[in-house]
Structure 1
Amino acid sequence: MGDASDTEHLATQTPPAPQTNKRRRKKSLVWEHFTVEAVSGGCTRACCKLCKQTFAYSSGSKVAGTSHLKRHIVLGSCPKLKMEKKQLALTSGSKTDGGATEQPPKRRYRSNLNALFDHELTCENLAKMIILHEYPLHMVEQPAVMAFVQSLQPRFKMPSYSEIDGEILAIYHKEKQNLMQVFGTFTGRISLTIGLWTTSQTLGYVSLTGQFIDSDWKLHRRMLNFMMVSSPHSENALSEVIGISLSEWNMKSKLFTITLDNNCSSHDIYSANLRDYLSNKNMLVLKGQLFVVRCYAHILNVIAQDVIASIHGIIYNIRESVKFVKVSPAREEKFADIALQLEIPSTKSLSLDVAIHWNTTYHMLVAGLEYKQAFTVLESMDENYNEAPTPEDWKKVEIVCTYLKFLYDSANVVMATADPTANIFFQEAWKIELELTNGISNEDVIVSTTAKDMHEKFDKYWKDCYLVLAVAVVMDPRFKMKLVEFSFSKLYGEDAARYIKVVDDSIHELYLEYVNQPLALTPAYEEQQGGEANIIGEADNGANDSEVFRPLTPSTPTPAGDGLLDFDIYISEMAVNHSSKSELEQYLEEALVPRIQEFDILNWWKLNTIKYPTLSKMARDVLAIPMSMVNSGSSIFGTGTGSRVLDEYRSSLRPEIVEALFCAKDWLQYLPTMIEPPPSNAIVKMEF
């Protein structure tokens, strides 16, 4: 009671009057314009004396400060104050007896900006700016930058190169500790992606990124390490780097799968070595059967590049034809007239491709294909044009576009979601595998040859990854095992049962691994003991798993609550020991969820966690598997997908600072203060 009354008493007071001694502390100027009023719940608000608008000031022992109050006055946000200024301006034109204009005394608002300047905070923000925007560290020594900063705040002393280097490292270590605390309280598993970076030197770098779904069913991706390796292409390099990273982050028991970058010439050797290394140390589930060895976006790009290269001569002619038409408005008009006379129904316009983005080449070919007759007529009418493809050429283009469309559509499905979950990849990969398999047996030689060349590489991806793709789609309540059964029957015919059994056995074996994990405590117990974070916190303080998850005994004190803790444990044991069907069997036997366009699979599992407490943990880890290492449009269609080259400037930096720059940039972008606001929806109405 005493605390509450004290709070209310403090809330109703105005700031204390200054002392009468010579060196008294000045009272903030904002209190000339504001009063403090108490509101409910022990909170107070500052009320503007002019416009009566109120602002948050304190809540309990927390005080909001006065910066927002100063902005209300100094920046002219107060409507009453604005009106006063306008009135003063209107009266400023009155004449004195001497004919001179009498200027009214200006109302001066004293600013206390000097007291708000924080040198350490400014240095930290400068370092964050360098990290987030990839500015060179030596910018702090550039005269123009120094002059600009001095004009903004003369009191700021620009840090030296070594000082900003240290500031960046301090930010890196601080954010790393914060992330370690998050992982320390995380009870699920984490999947890794590994990227290889090359430099202009003989050295290389390996990036390790963790992907996981948290307890609130939100998908996260965080860079863990960016480590220099002296021999990036040696067989054991990745194994050593992964071992160091897992030990550093204390994740040896939390590793689920690994997605390996395809940017290496010895991909199969890397995969085999990693699989053996991690399986021997019991770091992979199902003895490494779910080990992901291919990036889906990369395999699409490799195949697209190959099929485009197979008709590079024809593509050159089409590219030159488009250039010829679009070189001048007169030629474009002439070409449009030809298309109109031929009654070509196409609404597409001709466009040149960007060679490094295969989707633009695909669009150029599709548009050119629809205007093939117009190009033929143009060649007969214009002696300056002789690049028109032959009918045989157009036939090859048509076949290539048919198969490129499968890749293009699949890439767009992946790109449609900012953070795609693993379940969406099975049906995309299966459709491509089926189309290419059927194409091989086509009677048309050009079709069968094209399909065979594409299938050679995609089939390897499919054989390596079909199991993890299938396990992920089984966790989708819209499909479960039904889509696997349907797809395999289409693809494998009489042999489908064998492949279906492999998936079914793997699903059940994986589920048993989760069942055999220590039984999680009941929600009632977690609530009484402070939740999951406290339990894990005890483990971090030295308790082993058996101590953290030890069962209650008759001598164990019953926590305060409704007195039914023993009943909760009894029900949990009954559910585990006496249920006629496992959660997995119940899930698979229940009817499929209707397929709707805006289905949120993570939200579905979040809502069904109580119904499937063990299976939901398995689903959470499976759905977080990163099947593709690139998702954005510019990356997923880029012919350089999988190629990562460190620029010369960063290659010249110390490995320690390179890692700090890469990792800190990734971590800082998720801080609330660093998230870019969405674009404004405001529309400026132009009247003429």
Structure 2
Amino acid sequence: MGDASDTEHLTTETTPTLQTNKRRRKKSLVWEHFTIEAASGGCTRACCKLCKQTFAYSSGSKVAGTSHLKRHIVLGSCPKLKMEKKQLALTSGLKADGEATEQPLKRRYRSNLNALFDHELSCENLAKMIILHEYPLHMVEQPAVMAFVHSLQPRFKMPSYSEIDGEILAIYHKEKQNLMQVFGTYTGRISLTIGLWTTSQTLGYVCLTGQFIDSDWKLHRRMLNFMMVSSPHSENALSEVIGISLSEWNMKSKLFTITLDNNCSSHDIYSANLRDYLSNKNMLVLKGQLFVVRCYAHILNVIAQDVIASIHGIIYNIRESVKFVKVSPAREEKFADIALQLEIPSTKSLSLDVAIQWNTTYHMLVAALEYKQPFTVLESLDENYNEAPTPEDWKKVEIVCTYLKLLYDSANVVMATADPTANIFFQEAWKIQLELTNGIASEDVIVSTTAKDMHEKFDKYWRDCSLVLAIAVVMDPRFKMKLVEFSFSKLYGEDAAGYIKLVDDSIHELYLEYVNQPLALTPAYEQQGGEANIIGEADNGTNDNEVIRPLTPSTTTSAGDGLLDFDIYISEMAVNHSSKSELEQYLEEALVPRIQEFDILNWWKLNTIKYPTLSKMARDVLSIPMSMVNSGSSIFGPGTGSRVLDEYRSSLRPEIVEALFCAKDWLQCLPTMTEPPPSNAIVKMEF
């Protein structure tokens, strides 16, 4: 191994036969100044071409790296390089006014490593680091930070607070222009989410985020504005912010829906007549019936917190009981012995909850339920323990856990999808609505009371959002109208037909609005001369992308065989068949099999040519943000509610706060900064 390693690192000057070596060539710029020489013991050393000093490079299979070699060249440790620089300075001379004279056209030795330093790029990267990692801006004036940066690159001049402030604003404006260009060429509609941020003062911020699906059927979510308002909960605050944002982004004609969290009242929007204004200008689809959407994660959180609060006294006793057992190993062992004697089959372990995460409270209650007998026995054996819940308390906990499981399972389905599209929420929502409706009719008073309290708030969500939820699931080829019909029949019984008709009428009306929009010709359509009728195949669901042209007398090859009437008959049949709309063809075709790996966006991407108009409608509907929880965030906590801006950010100017929040969101969507693209590369998003 040692001899082979030595041979690999010999210079081409001493061993020209090594030019055929297939190993990757060294790309570091230091090898313009160093050669590799073999040393004793299977080692190699790097030799400076100028001063002939040697440095450790490899020992067997271990390579020392090139950092120490760079320092030798860049920091001027090489005596020969120092001397040449001094001579160069003397020979070049200075003009009388102090400006340096023109440098020689050629230098014998030039450090490419020094030429790589770009002060402007370094300042920009520093600003991006502050944005992405939420560092305080004044870090640039901290002595320790300045010393550290100076040790890395003495030539870098640390920007002042005001300079880094300007650098951040420049990045914000640059990225904003890029995003505005994207939206300017985007032909679909964009749905907004509205979130509130509060401060320790009476001021607040409104965060607007746009969600859309691009022409490659990828789901995107981009922050648009983070605007300060003097009274975030005032009657017209949201309306004013939404109006300003729509005008700023030239998005009034592209607005589809607005999703609000639990702290945003739809009354704010209605009272300012924003909805009516946009509807009258024909800017909203279905006359604004889909305009306001409620956050699904929020309604789950609100109901879960309410049902937990309904038994807060019992939960307190259980929490204290768990603490009592887990506070000492001796008590845990004693409790385990009691459970063993009672032959408790549980495999769960007692755990404490985090109050603001209702799923942890649910897990605590579920585990404690299985040990209700050991807790009762422990109370009779240990005089220091007197927190055991009563049998009636345990019954309430059991019923509460039954309904919490319903919410918990639904939340997990939503969280399991990295980028949830609107179609997945209907199935979750109608199941909860059905279980709560059935629970109200229970003869058990505790069950009916618990279900009634939960149903009161969820039913309002269902009434507000069931139409948009249903339209979204119709765009799922695995369900279409069939799931709507099935679920409504269970929910509404004899009255189901009226609710089903409402959904069917709405989706046909929405489709007609898209039909009346100008349709850009697809490449396949253009190849047919722009006159081909794009129709679906038979209901067997095969050959999704087939384009069939109806026969006409002019296209027949046997016009003189006496079958002209037959040709006309075939043509009329084709015309009659193609008179069905894309929506009707889609709804009549067989359902796509339900498989776990089904990708609805990819399905629509593959069927865009077959359904050119309906696919545009599906793209807008599926991009509606039914939940405001971002990818990677927990759906079980208050993260989607009114959040609080920390003291430092609250002290900054509103424009820099907006720049920090928005720029962070936009930069995170760009390629990683650890491996920047080549300087001549153009990074862009295509639609």
| TM score, norm. by length of structure 1 | 0.77
| Cα pair distance change 1:7/1:550, threshold 3 Å | farther
Q: Distance in 2 between matches of 1:627 and 1:563?
A: 61
- Does structure 1 retain, via aligned residues, the 8 Å contact 2:321–2:388? yes
Q: By how many angstroms is 1:292 displaced? A: 2.9
* Deviation of 1:178 (Å): 0.9
Contact 1:520 1:549 (8 Å CA) reproduced = no
Separation in 2, partners of 1:293, 1:675: 39
Alpha-carbon spacing, 1:616–1:97, altered in 2? closer, same or farther (3 Å): closer
Whether the 8 Å contact between 2:522 and 2:609 is mirrored in structure 1 is no
Aligned to 2:578: 579
Which secondary structure does the structure 2 equivalent of 1:81 belong to? helix
Residue equivalent to 1:569: 568
TM-superposed deviation, 1:243: 1.7
Aligned partner of residue 20 in structure 2, secondary structure: coil
Contact 2:217 2:619 in 1 (8 A): yes
Q: 1:42 to 1:511 in 2, by over 3 A?
A: farther
8 Å contact kept, 2:205–2:229: yes
Are 1:522 and 1:569, in contact at CA under 8 Å, matched by a contact in 2? no
Contact (CA 8 Å) 1:295, 1:628: kept in 2 or not? yes
* Cα gap change, 1:547 to 1:439, in 2 (>3 Å): closer
| Residue 395 of structure 1: how far off its partner (Å) | 0.2
Cα deviation for residue 673 of structure 1 reads 2.3
Q: CA deviation at 1:579?
A: 2.1
Deviations 1:575-613 (A, max 9, x none): 999822111001101111111111110011111111111
Shift in alpha-carbon separation, 1:430–1:541, aligned structure 2, 3 A: closer
CA contact (8 A) 1:322 1:350 kept: yes
**Deviation, structure 1 residue 338:** 1.2
The 1:595/1:540 distance shift into structure 2, 3 A limit, reads closer
Give the C-alpha shift of residue 283 in structure 1.
Answer: 2.3
* SS of residue in 2 equivalent to 1:532: coil
User: How far apart, CA to CA, are the structure 2 residues paired with 1:172 and 1:7?
Assistant: 53
The answer (yes or no) to whether the contact 2:536–2:546 under 8 Å persists in 1 is no
Report the alpha carbon displacement of residue 70 of structure 1 after superposing the two structures with TM.
Answer: 9.4
Structure 1 Cα separation of the partners of residues 121 and 100 of structure 2 = 49
CA distance in 1, matches of 2:561, 2:63: 37
Residue 653 of structure 1 and its aligned partner are, at CA, apart by 1.1
1:558 match: secondary structure: coil
Tell me how far 1:343 sits from its aligned partner. 1.2
Q: Which residue of 1 aligns with 2:553?
A: 554
Measure, in 2, the Cα distance between the counterparts of 1:401 and 1:359: 11
Task: Give 1:87 shift.
Answer: 36
Mark the CA change 1:542 to 1:439 in structure 2 (over 3 Å): closer, same or farther: closer
1:641 & 1:75 partners in 2: Cα distance? 51
Residues 45 and 57 in structure 1, CA contact (< 8 A), matched pair in contact too: yes
**Identical aligned pairs, as a percentage?**
95
Could you give the per-residue CA deviations for residues 461-516 of structure 1, whole angstroms, max 9, x where no partner exists?
A: 00000000000000000000000000000000000000000000000000001111
Q: Work out the CA distance in 2 between the residues paired with 1:477 and 1:87.
A: 78
Q: Secondary structure at the match of 1:658?
A: helix
Change beyond 3 A, Cα 1:464–1:350? same
Separation in structure 1 between the aligned mates of residue 656 and residue 616 of structure 2, nearest angstrom: 37
* Residues 403-441 of structure 1: CA deviation (Å, up to 9, x unaligned): 011111111111111210000000101010000011001
User: What's the counterpart of residue 53 of structure 1?
Assistant: 53
The CA deviation at 1:159 is 0.3
Distance 2:244 2:681 in 1: 50
Compute the displacement of 1:264 (Å): 3.8
Output aligned runs, 1:243-262, within 5 Å. 243-262=243-262
2:74 corresponds to: 74
Residue pair 1:96, 1:102 contacting (<8 A) in 2 also: no
| SS in structure 1 at match of 2:579 | coil
Instruction: Look up the SS of the partner of 1:256 in the other structure.
Output: strand
Are the structure 2 counterparts of residues 227 and 368 from structure 1 closer, same or farther at C-alpha, using a change threshold of 3 Å? same
Query: Quick check: 147-156 or 539-548, which moved more?
Result: 539-548
1:232 Cα deviation from its structure 2 partner: 2.0
Q: Which stretch shows the higher mean deviation, 203-212 or 635-644?
A: 635-644
Which deviates further from its counterpart, 284-293 or 118-127? 284-293
1:538-687 → structure 2 map (5 Å cutoff): 579-631=578-630, 635-639=634-638, 641-674=640-673
- Do the aligned residues in 1 keep the contact of 2:205 with 2:227 (CA within 8 Å)? yes
Q: Which whole-Å CA distance do the structure 1 matches of 2:506 and 2:92 have between them?
A: 86
Map residues 84-483 of structure 1 onto 2, 5 A cutoff: 112-264=112-264, 273-483=273-483
Q: Which SS does the other structure have where 2:638 is aligned?
A: coil
The answer to whether the 8 Å contact 2:2/2:41 transfers is no
Please give the secondary structure, in 2, of the residue aligned with 1:350: coil
Measured in 2, the distance between the counterparts of 1:470 and 1:171 equals: 41
Q: Secondary structure at the match of 1:364?
A: helix
SS at match of 2:681: coil
The aligned counterpart of 2:25 is 25
Given the superposition, is the C-alpha separation of residues 686 and 661 from structure 1 closer, same or farther in structure 2, using an over 3 Å criterion? closer
How many aligned residue pairs are there?
Answer: 687
Secondary structure of 1:505 counterpart: helix
Residue of structure 1 equivalent to 2:497: 497
Q: Is the 8 A contact 1:190 1:212 kept in 2?
A: yes
Say whether the 8 Å CA contact 1:430–1:487 is kept in structure 2. Answer: yes
Q: Which moved more, 1:91-100 or 1:25-34?
A: 91-100
Change (3 A) 1:380 1:471: same
C-alpha distance after superposition, 1:308-352 (max 9, x if no partner)? 000000000000000011011111111111111111111110000
Give the superposition deviation at 1:562.
Answer: 31
Q: Cα–Cα, structure 1 residues 189 and 41, in superposed 2: closer, same or farther, change >3 Å? A: farther
Tell me how far 1:445 sits from its aligned partner: 0.5
Higher mean C-alpha deviation, range 47-56 or range 92-101: 92-101
Is this contact kept in 2: 1:286–1:510, CA < 8 A?
yes
1:153-206 CA deviation, whole Å, 9 max, x = no partner? 111110011100110011011111111111122111111111122112222211
Deviation at 1:365, TM superposition (A): 0.3
| Displacement of 1:6 | 39
Shift of 1:36: 19
Q: Bigger CA drift: 565-574 or 424-433?
A: 565-574
Q: Mean Cα displacement is larger for which, 92-101 or 655-664?
A: 92-101
Distance 1:578 1:318 in 2: 67
How far the C-alpha of 1:660 sits from its partner, in A, is 0.6
Structure 2: distance between partners of 1:528 and 1:407: 51
The answer on whether the counterparts of 2:307 and 2:450 sit within 8 Å (CA) in structure 1 is: yes
**Residue 88 and residue 441 in structure 1: after superposition, are their counterparts in 2 closer, same or farther (change >3 A)?**
farther
Q: For residues 545 and 228 of structure 1, do their structure 2 counterparts lie closer, same or farther at Cα, with a shift above 3 Å needed? A: farther
With over 3 angstroms needed to count, the CA separation of the structure-2 counterparts of 1:528 and 1:388, relative to structure 1, is same
User: Is 1:238–1:270's contact at 8 Å kept on the other side of the alignment?
Assistant: no
